[in-house]
Structure formats: structure tokens, C-alpha cells
A and B are shown apart, each in its own frame.
Chain A
Amino acid sequence: MSDVHAIQHLETPHPSQPKLTPTQRMLREAWSSSAFRVGFFIFVLLLFGALIYPELTSIDPTKMNVRARLMPPMFLGEGWSWVHPLGTDQLGRDLLLRCLVGLRYSVLIGCATVVLMFFVGCGLGLVSGFKGGFTDTIIMRVTDAQLSIPMIILAITILGVSRPTVPAIILVLGLSGWPLYARVARSAALAEKGKEYIKGERVLGASDLRIILRFLAPAILPPIAFVAVLDVASIMIFESILGFIGLGIQPPTPTFGNIIADGRKYLINAWWIATMPGMFLLITLTSLNLMGSAMESARNSVLKGAA
């Protein structure tokens, strides 16, 4: 696995530039590319928007103004106003503010769900792949069982019994999603454990736990962590399906899923309501991508310099 070798390379400091660690050099290299700066700038702007702007502004995201409802965004259609740059929703609430606050909740839901899936899934998957035999069979069949309980059953049970709150929704989405990670981690662990360096560690008498945590996990996690970004995004949107069936988070808390599910009815007359969360998501993903790919090419050039 190249990542492992890369890490090993990174750990040997280069003699010609003693002051900078490879990570620092990589960051410096990345920062010099304009793509990274643009991505970083957008990301910081979003972060500021989501975390600080709602606290600073005098507009309240839950404040309704029924008479100013369904106002279009700036420059689009008649009757827009500077006060509501992205327009207003079906109850006259400011859409920019709702999206920003929604971004907070949705990132929370998305990240927490993925972290939950990641830990449960990868943990079980690694153990299963590494141990093999009976343990493997049991864990994988449990995974199959969980995988085959349709999400909607979990949703109507858990969200039907308790009030749909943020933790309940994370639980539903996380429970129905972890098998994915378990299977991926298991097959990665299977491929990895046959490699010479793991066999070597075993001969040296390393405990299973040590091998899993010290060697298998670092080898497997980076690619999985990389792909998890897309899962965070998809969960932020997928949550709207719950709102669609009437099991979404209760108002007035805005989440992307909520805004989309409630705005759907207005799509033909007021397209902006259900569209804006998607736009925010797209911008977020693009900024992450810009930074990510700049980092990767920086890493490659640093590695080349090192080799």
C-alpha cells in the first residue's frame, strides 16, 4: 500500500531542509497554489458564515414575516431585496440565514453519522478481516443482518417512538449505514494482513490489538477517510427523505433536509427554497476538493523531492 510507504518516507527528515518537517513543507507548497487559496478562502467564508454570522446579525432565523414570504433571491425575479440576499422561504424567513444555520446542523448530523458509522463499521470490519474464522463469520452475518433491515423500518420505529431530534436522526442514519464501512474495512484488512510486514510483526510476537491499531488501521483508514467526505455530503441530503415521509427534525430547527423537504412543494413557484441547500453543499464540496487536490499534488511533489 503506497500510503504506508509514504508515511515511512515522511518520517525520515530530509537533511537539506532541517527546519521544516515534510508536513510543513507540504502545507507551504499547497498554499502557494492558487487553487488551494481559493478553496481555503471559500471554506473560511462558509465557516464564518455558519458559525459567526448568525450570531452577529440582527435577523432571527426563526423569525417569520408572513407578508414577506417567497421573496426571490437578489436579481432574480421581481420583488427581491437586499435584506434577504437569497430570498425568503414559505413563511418569510431569511433563506441565507436559514441555510447557514442549517449548514451547522447538517454538518453536525452528517459528520456525527459518518463518525458513528466509521468507528463501528471500521472497528468491526478490521477485527473481522484480521481474525478471520468464526469471529469473521459472526461479525459479517451481523453486518448482513443490519444491512438488510431497510432504513425506513428503523426510521419509523425510532423516530416514531421518540420525538425526531438530532441525536435520534443520527442514530437512525448511522445504524443503517455502518455495514458499508464494515465490509470495506474487512476486505481492506484481508488484503493487508497477507503482506510481509504484518507477518513479520506477528512473528515478532505483537498482540492482535497492537497489530490492528498500530499497523492495519493506519494503512486502511486514509483511503476510507477520504471517501467519507462524500458520505457526509450525501447524508446531509439523504436526511431530507426523512422529512419527506414526515419523520424529519421538528421545526423550527432548520437543517438542509428540512429546508429541502418543506421547500419541495414550492419548487415550481419558488425554486430557490429547495435549491439553496444543494448549492451550499456544492460550494462546500468544491472548496474541500480544491484544497484536497492541491494538498495531494503538494504531497506528491514533496515526496518526489525527498526521493
Chain B
Amino acid sequence: MKARRIRSAGRLNTKGVGELYLLNFLIRRFLQGAVVLLIVSFAIFALLRVVPGDPARLIVGGMAPDEVVVQKAEELGLNDPLAVQYLRYLGDFSRGDLGNSFFRPKSGATVGAAAYDDPSRDERAEVLDLIIERIPLTLQLAGLSVVFALIISFPLGVAAGLNPGKWQDRLAFFSGSIFVSLPNFWLGIVLAQLFSVRLGILPSIGYKGFEYTILPALVLAIGISPFIIRTLSVSIAQIMREEFITVAPLRGLGQARIVCAHAIRNASIPLLNLFGIQLGMLLGGVLVVELIFDYPGLGRLTINAVLQRDFPIIQGVAIFISAIFVFINIAVDLAASFIDPRLEY
């Protein structure tokens, strides 16, 4: 009964100093998160300066005379030392200004009288607006794909975890192997060809309503589900061998109750951890899937920005995503410590 003892001790502990502990945890982690973000944003900023593709040259076009390029670089402040450029960026950032896209014009807005002295900057769309415009669509896509992934993975993963070595286990591994062997753009094209072109059941290219999210989300879900299946089956199998589970029937608990109350509850910690991490995988998939389905989200924005070398957008999106990562991981750790107070965070 070792594990149970520790668990109840943990509970007591949480109740006693729980709130203070929580507040302390949050403050500490948010401060650390801010530091991490600062480092990451500088890293991204610096990395993007190394990437081939001179922004000034790209803006004015390949055939522009060199003087024009030099002038443009001066205008954009590209000749200043990196640290100066970064501090300037941070300054703007703190005022909620992520800069303006190099290429994207503001949505149709006609700029009125020549009130600005720097035409190249103010006619361009604000990166922040571009991101905010697209984030709901990408969240919708990511959210739906996680739901799909869980729907696919839970029956397979839990069944496999409860029956290690039996056919359920093999089925889970085999379906996982199939899913992992399907490249996402392969699957995207096949599904679009099948459902949109051949059968005409589901639209998929572009975005005119919620139904356009379904196929892309399915493709993403299939991409991440092998990992969820694997994590679920491995951790449930492991937990089912733990003492507090094996003795549970002796305490008169039914199989369903054991699985739901203990096994899945405990298996959800590695699952949460996985989510904090697989988000990166999900994002890699989002890039491809949004491009294939012409889905107007962050992924398509990023790919197009990368292909155009629209550095302010790449930078803005990257820093934005980093922030999401950092805070999701704080949330994951927090949630994990609620589920299992043994874990020290």
C-alpha cells in the first residue's frame, strides 16, 4: 500500500498549504517563463538574421539598383548592430507593436493623405493584426484535431493498455504503425480527392465555414494519434501492474471503476506531458496541412512568410508560438501536480 500512502500524504499537504503553494508556483513559473521568452525571442531574432535572403533586396525587388537596396536597408535599420535592432524590437513589442509585414498590404485600407514619412512601413499590415486574425482558425483546427485524435486513440490505447500482449495490443500497434507511415500531405491529398472531388461530401479547400475544418483536422489527428495511443497503452499497462491497482479488486472496486478512477487518471499525466511537447509536432503538421488545404490560418501565413522571407511575420509568429508553448507547459505542469501531488514542481 506504499503508493496509496504517499498519495494521501500528498493530498493532505495540498489542502494545508495548497493556496500559498499554488500562488508561489505560479509566480515562480511565470517569471521563469518571461525569462525563457526573452531568451527565445532573442534567439529567434538572431537566427533569422543569419537566414539567406536580404530583406532590403527582397522588398525592392531583384532588379533594383544597389543604391536603392542600401537606402532601404538604412530605412529599415538593418545596418544597426543586432543588439540595437533587438532592443528596438523589444521596445515596440512592449507597446504591442510587432512590426509591419514587409510585403502584405493592409486589408484594402486606402492610406489617406501622405501623413507618414516612411511609406514602406505604414502601408503594410501589422503583424499583430495578421496573427490575431488567423489565430482563431488555427485554434479551431488544432482543437478539433485533438478531439479527433482522442476519439481515435482512447479506445485503441486503453484497450491495449488493459490487455498487454493480446490482440488489442497488436491492433493498437498496427494502427499506430499505419498512421505513422502516412505522410500528412499524402493523406491530405487522398482525402481531399476522395471526399471533396469524388464523393462531394465534404468541402476541403479554402475556408468558408466550419465544415472546411473537418478534413484538415482529421489529417492532423491521424498524425498525432500514434503517439497518444502509444503513451496511453504504455502508461496504462504500467499502472495496472502497480500495487494500488492490483489490490483494488480486493477492496471491492469494480473493473470499470478501477480503470476510470485510477488507471486513466494516472495515465493522463504522461498524456498531458505529451501534449505540451507534441504541440510542436502538431504545429509542423499545421504548416503542411494548412498549405495543402489552403486553410487561412497561422500555418499558411508562416509558410508563405518563409517562402517570401517576410521576416517580421516569421519573427512575430515564432515568438507568439513560443509564448503559447511556454504557458501551455506551465499549465500542463500545474494540471499534472493537481492530478498527482507527488510530483514536485
Pair from one complex = yes
A interface residues, Cβ below 8 angstroms from B: 2, 132, 137, 141, 144-145, 147-154, 156-157, 160-161, 176, 179-180, 183-184, 187, 190-191, 194, 223, 226-227, 230, 233-234, 237-238, 240-241, 244-246, 260, 264, 267-268, 274-275, 277-279, 281-282, 285-286, 289, 293, 296-297, 300
* B241 lies within 8 A of A286 (CB): no
Q: Which of A149, A157, A179, A245 contacts B303 (CB under 8 A)?
A: A245
Contact A223 B273 (CB under 8 A): no
The answer to whether A278 and B186 touch (CB under 8 A), given A149-B318, A286-B174, is yes
User: Knowing A157-B48, A230-B227, A268-B189 touch, does A149 contact B306 (C-beta < 8 A)?
Assistant: no
Complex-state Cα separation, A226 to B230, whole angstroms: 10
The 23 listed contacts between A and B (C-beta, < 8 Å) are: A2-B241, A141-B36, A148-B323, A153-B47, A156-B51, A160-B51, A160-B53, A176-B280, A179-B277, A180-B277, A187-B269, A190-B343, A237-B181, A240-B185, A245-B303, A268-B189, A274-B186, A281-B181, A289-B174, A293-B170, A293-B173, A297-B165, A300-B165
Partner of A278, one of B44, B174, B183, B307: B183
Task: Kindly state the separation between the CA atoms of A153 and B280 in the bound complex, as whole angstroms.
Answer: 12
Tell me whether B16 is interfacial, beta carbon within 8 Å.
Answer: no
B186–A275 CB distance below 8 A: yes
Quick one: closest A residue to B283, CB to CB? A150
Residues of B within 8 A of A (CB): 6, 32-33, 35-37, 39-40, 43-44, 47-48, 50-53, 164-165, 169-170, 173-174, 176-178, 180-186, 189-190, 193, 226-227, 230-231, 234, 238, 241, 269-270, 273, 276-277, 280-281, 283-284, 287-288, 302-303, 306-307, 314, 317-318, 321-323, 325-326, 329, 342-344
In the complex the two chains form, is B288's CB within 8 Å of A244's CB?
Answer: yes
Q: Is the CB of B280 within 8 A of A150?
A: yes
Contact of A184 with B51 in the complex, beta carbons under 8 Å? no
Which chain B positions have C-beta within 8 A of A238? 281, 284
Quick one: which of B39, B288, B317 contacts A145, CB cutoff 8 A? B39
Nearest Cβ on chain B to A276's Cβ, whole angstroms: 11
B283 contacts across to A, CB distance below 8 A: 150-151
A-B interface pairs (CB < 8 A), number: 165
**A141's contact among B35, B183, B241, B344, by CB below 8 Å, is which?**
B35
Which of A148, A267, A274 is in CB contact (< 8 Å) with B326? A148
A233 near B47 (CB under 8 angstroms)?
no
Known contacts A150-B280, A150-B283: A187-B176 contact under CB 8 Å: no
Asked if B181 and A282 make an inter-chain contact with CB atoms under 8 angstroms apart, the answer reads yes
Q: Are A148 and B177 in contact (CB under 8 A)?
A: no
CB pair B181–A157 under 8 Å, yes or no, is no
Known contacts A150-B318, A156-B306, A191-B343, then 15 further A-B pairs from the complex at CB < 8 Å, ordered by chain A residue: A141-B35, A145-B36, A148-B36, A148-B321, A149-B47, A152-B306, A157-B51, A227-B231, A227-B234, A241-B284, A241-B287, A245-B287, A245-B306, A282-B177, A286-B174
Give which listed residue, B52, B165, B307, B325, contacts A147 with CB less than 8 A: B325
**Which residue of A is nearest B321, CB measured?**
A150
Query: How far does the alpha carbon of A191 sit from the alpha carbon of B341 in the complex, in Å?
Result: 11
- Cβ–Cβ contact B189 & A227, under 8 A: no
Establish whether residues A153 and B226, one from each chain, have CB atoms under 8 Å apart when the complex forms: no
Closest to A190 in B: B343
Give A184 to B323 CA distance when docked, in angstroms: 21
- Which of B6, B170, B183, B284 lies at the interface centre, i.e. has the most chain A CB atoms within 10 A of its CB? B183
Contact A289 B189 (CB under 8 A): no
Question: Distance in Å from the Cβ of B41 to the closest Cβ of chain A?
Answer: 10
**CA gap between A220 and B120 in the complex, in Å:** 56
Which B residues touch A194, using CB under 8 A? 6, 342
A269 to B70, CA, bound (A): 48
Given contacts A187-B269, A278-B183, A293-B169, contact A230 B226 (CB under 8 A): yes
Measured CB to CB, the nearest residue on chain B to A271 is B190
Q: Give A297 Cβ to nearest chain B Cβ, in Å.
A: 5
Residue of B39, B277, B303, B342 with most partner-chain A CB within 10 A: B277
Q: Is the CB of A233 within 8 A of B329?
A: no
Chain A residues whose CB sits within 8 angstroms of the CB of B189 once the complex forms: 264, 267-268
Do B51 and A149 have beta carbons less than 8 Å apart?
no
The listed residue (A183, A246, A268, A279) touching B181 by CB distance below 8 A is: A279
- A161 lies within 8 A of B342 (CB): no
Check B325–A187 contact: CB distance below 8 A: no
Given A149-B43, A227-B230: A237 and B180 within 8 A (CB)? yes
Which residue on A lies nearest to B229, using beta carbons? A230
Contact in complex: B181, A285 (CB < 8 Å):
yes
